[in-house]
Amino acid sequence: MGYQSLNFLLFSAAVVLVFYAVGKINRKGQQFVLLAANLAFYIIAGVKYLPFLLVTLFASFFGAKAIGKIYDAADKKLLDAKDIAEKKEIRADSKKKAKKAMLFGVLVSLALLVVCKYLLFILKNVNIVIKKLGAEPIGLFKIILPLGISFYTFMAVGYVLDVYWKRIKAENNFIAYSVFLTYFPHIVQGPIGRYGNFKEQFDVKKGVVLDTQNLAFGAELVIWGLFKKLVIADRLSPFVSTFFDDPKSYSGLVMVIAAVLYSIQIYTDFSGCIDIISGVSEMLGIKLEKNFNHPYFSRTIPEFWRRWHISLGDWFKDFVYFPVSTSAPVKKLKKAFKKRGWKKGELLVASCAPTIVVWVITGVWHGASWNYVAWGMFYAALMVGGNIFADFNKAATEKLKIDTETFSWHLFQIIRTFALCCIGRVFFRAEGLKNALVYFKHMFSSLSLEFILDDKIYTYGMDRDNFILVLVAIAVLFVADLLEEKIPLRKTLAKQNIVFRYAVILLGIFAVLIFGIYGPQFNASEFIYEQF
């Protein structure tokens, strides 16, 4: 039941209808409607995946609950403590016990992720070494990769760590937490939700009151997401696949075009999915974490990653970057540089060490393949390099008397950042690291224009009419994103007169129905991020 499918839209409409109908009778019943919908959605995807989700659910809930009990007991003891030394001992003892509970909740969830997603990759690479040593390789076997495991594992781990670090209180209501972790809009492709944000919006005792604005805004977001996915992303898919699936057979500028179009495809595909599920969730009165903020308007790579897959970036910042930057090894390195009086080195260690760790893990999180590791290291190199050469770049712009506040300079920065992202996308899209290197080799082997000049470019999955249509659709997307940078489009549309408002909405619906790539004859693509 793909998010772009009619089945999903009908399923979501039924959930919304029953959700508010039950809410009129007893709003406490809405939690059971959502839980039933979540489990139904996941079971339809594959009942074989359910045990893995349930193990993560139970481990994270009871691990966090144990932490909460330990902290509550310690708080009571602190009230009766006689002096500072006794209080210090109580806190140390509670932290030690809570750490054991935290490790249980975190490691069980992560162990499942590692086994399901990375064990075969590890064994294959071990076998390469074993074969070179002349020994018998380890026998490989098929392992189930549960739907959405990368996303719900990070949500579960984040929840346990938030409780352990006392950012939120442990949830005692198992149903309430279950609704969050299994929530059908975000379980497959995110955003990576935080329980504190979810609970603020959906209190199981109070429920959600029907709000017509939520229904209208949510529906508009769904239409916009379908436009991105069906009109742009799925139309670009066959063209992009032609070159990335067989990079040896092509060369020159056409491969540069394919890399650029893939960058647009993955943006419209992923953000389109997020718009669809965010719209459905908004109709249920629950606003998911923002995951995109017009990333291709970014002027630097760090800014790009603050605008792209925002929930993942925030997760890594809170649970990897800051812990690594305050870890004992990093502190020792900083101290060593400080003793030598190298202030710049101290600052670089503080920023570069956690950046490298984050990007290695980010690459591995996306997939068990060396091309994802290379993709992560590519961005790590860009960010570390940016930190190292920051002073040099500043001095160079001053010496060359470049006005960094002009439109032309900002435009150059945006184009430069987009170009770097397109290079990174080659690692990301290629079928393995070897194919990525082959793609780069053929992409820069010539600057031939023959594919364009003799119209051969229209024979690779998109004819002339589809090329024109997709370029117009991309232009519409560009204008909409540009306007959204300045004004909230849905709120602005809501203020217009009813005729104009509904004309725009109907135009969006008809654009999806008439120009969308859908139906069995087109074999509509699944969302790219479902594989992660």
Nearest to 284 by CA among 15, 4, 6, 40: 15
For residue 109, pLDDT over 90 is answered with yes
CB 56, CB 157: distance < 8 Å: no
- Confidence at residue 337, expressed as pLDDT on a 0 to 100 scale: 77
pTM for the whole structure: 0.90
Q: Average pLDDT for residues 367-382, to the nearest whole number?
A: 92
Q: Which of 104-118, 220-234, 264-278, 513-527 has the lowest mean pLDDT?
A: 513-527
Is residue 524 very low, low, confident or very high in pLDDT (cuts 50, 70, 90)?
very low
Residues above pLDDT 90, as percent of the chain? 69
Q: Average pLDDT for residues 81-99, to the nearest whole number?
A: 89
Q: Average pLDDT for residues 208-215, to the nearest whole number?
A: 94
Q: Average pLDDT for residues 25-36, to the nearest whole number?
A: 94
The dihedral region occupied by 134, where left means phi > 0, alpha psi between -120 and 50, and beta the remainder, is left
What is the torsional sign of CA 348, 370, 268, 114?
A: negative
For residue 163, pLDDT over 50 is answered with yes
- Confidence at residue 195, expressed as pLDDT on a 0 to 100 scale: 95
For residue 523, pLDDT over 60 is answered with no
- Confidence at residue 150, expressed as pLDDT on a 0 to 100 scale: 93
Q: Report which of residues 261 and 130 the model is more confident about.
A: 261
Distance CA 37, CA 459 (A): 44
Distance CA 434, CA 371 (A): 8
- Confidence at residue 521, expressed as pLDDT on a 0 to 100 scale: 39
- Confidence at residue 530, expressed as pLDDT on a 0 to 100 scale: 57
Distance CA 293, CA 309 (A): 9
Is residue 531 very low, low, confident or very high in pLDDT (cuts 50, 70, 90)?
low
The dihedral region occupied by 210, where left means phi > 0, alpha psi between -120 and 50, and beta the remainder, is beta
What is the torsional sign of CA 241, 358, 111, 166?
A: negative
Distance CA 204, CA 29 (A): 8
What is the average pLDDT score of the chain? 90
- For residue 238, give the H/E element and its range: helix 234-244
Q: Report which of residues 188 and 344 the model is more confident about.
A: 188
- Confidence at residue 456, expressed as pLDDT on a 0 to 100 scale: 82
Residue 314 token pair: 């925030």
- Confidence at residue 325, expressed as pLDDT on a 0 to 100 scale: 86
- Confidence at residue 520, expressed as pLDDT on a 0 to 100 scale: 39
